Amino acid sequence: MGIQITPSILNADFAALGAEVARIPSADWIHVDVMDNHFVPNLTFGPTMVEALARSTDIPLDAHLMIADADRHAPTYVEAGCASVTFHVEAAAAPVRLAREIRAAGGRASMALKPATPVEPYEDMLGELDMLLLMTVEPGFGGQKFLDLVLPKIRRARALMDKHGVETWLQVDGGVSLETIERCAEAGADTFVAGSAVFSADDPDAMVNALRAKASDSRD
Ligand code: DX5
Ligand code: ZN
């Protein structure tokens, strides 16, 4: 899999999301951060809003669910039009069953790990996942500082994927910018979420392309 850049709309103008997404035509995916004020101390939007956004763009949606009781709610986001749905393993009672349900509903199944959650316990279920998301900040807010302490886990996750020969994408999310993306790519990430770096740029679409170029360079 090549490098993919997935801007997060968390720091975009929520009153004009359709227009904000239209500013980043070069994005491979649009990352939508769903928060419930329970799993994380912040509240964003739910399936109705996501469904409206899906109708407003041809770019596929990558839902990142930072919500409790993921088992119950995640398949709803496939029905709402998300091509990829990420649940947090810390919020899932039965992650294998849930990943299978997301796939059965027609979505790409993805599982997220907070910075302090180890990857090794999930080695045997990597084949159940289309993507693994390693958070590089504590989830909840955009604009936080990138946590370098996650880099060794990115390397270990990549090694486990190589060992098992799986096609699982490896996504990083949190504090990804022109300053930090090379470190993530060198460690083995291939899918990059960037929120404030993209939406605080004068030209968000140029930033998407600059991030992609930088990540691609460091993988050569
Ligand atoms: C944080 C979210 C991220 C966030 C990234 O909990 O999951 O997707 O929007 O924003 P930046 O790139 O500003 O860290
Ligand atoms: Zn996110």
Helix H, strand E, coil C: the string for the chain is CCCEEEEEHHHCCHHHHHHHHHCCCCCCCEEEEEEECCCCCCECCCHHHHHHHHHHCCCCEEEEEECCCHHHHHHHHHHCCCCEEEEEHHHCCCHHHHHHHHHHCCCEEEEEECCCCCCHHHHHHHHHCCEEEEECCCCCCCCCCCCHHHHHHHHHHHHHHHHHCCCCEEEEECCCCCCCHHHHHHHCCCEEEECHHHHCCCCHHHHHHHHHHHHHHHHC
Cα 32 to middle of ligand 2, angstroms = 7
Cα 147 to middle of ligand 2, angstroms = 15
CATH tag, 4-219: 3.20.20.70
30 lines ligand 1 (CB under 6 A): no
Closest Cα to atom 12, ligand 1: which residue? 195
84 near 100, Cβ under 8 Å? no
User: Looking at 28, 33, 62, 130, which residue is catalytic?
Assistant: 33
Instruction: Give the number of the atom of ligand 1 that is nearest the alpha carbon of residue 198.
Output: 12
33 is catalytic: yes
Cα 78 to middle of ligand 1, angstroms = 21
Query: Which of 141, 150, 179, 200 for mutating ligand 1's site (highest number of atoms within 8 Å of CB)?
Result: 141
What pLDDT is stored for residue 218 in this prediction? 87
Torsion 126-128-130-132 (CA) sign: negative
Torsion 214-215-218-220 (CA) sign: negative
Q: Read off the tokens for 92.
A: 């899932």
Report which bound ligand comes closest to the CA of 196.
1
Q: pLDDT tens digits, the chain, 220 residues: what are they? A: 699 999 999 999 999 999 999 999 999 999 999 999 999 999 999 999 999 999 999 999 999 999 999 999 999 999 999 999 999 999 999 999 999 999 999 999 999 999 999 999 999 999 999 999 999 999 999 999 999 999 999 999 999 999 999 999 999 999 999 999 999 999 999 999 999 999 999 999 999 999 999 999 987 6
Cα 194 to middle of ligand 2, angstroms = 9
For residue 171, give the amino acid letter. Answer: Q
What pLDDT is stored for residue 43 in this prediction? 98
For helices 95-104 and 70-79, give the axis angle rounded to 10 degrees: 10
pTM of this structure = 0.98
What pLDDT is stored for residue 220 in this prediction? 66
49 burial type by CB count under 10 A (0-12 exposed, 13-18 middle, 19+ buried): middle
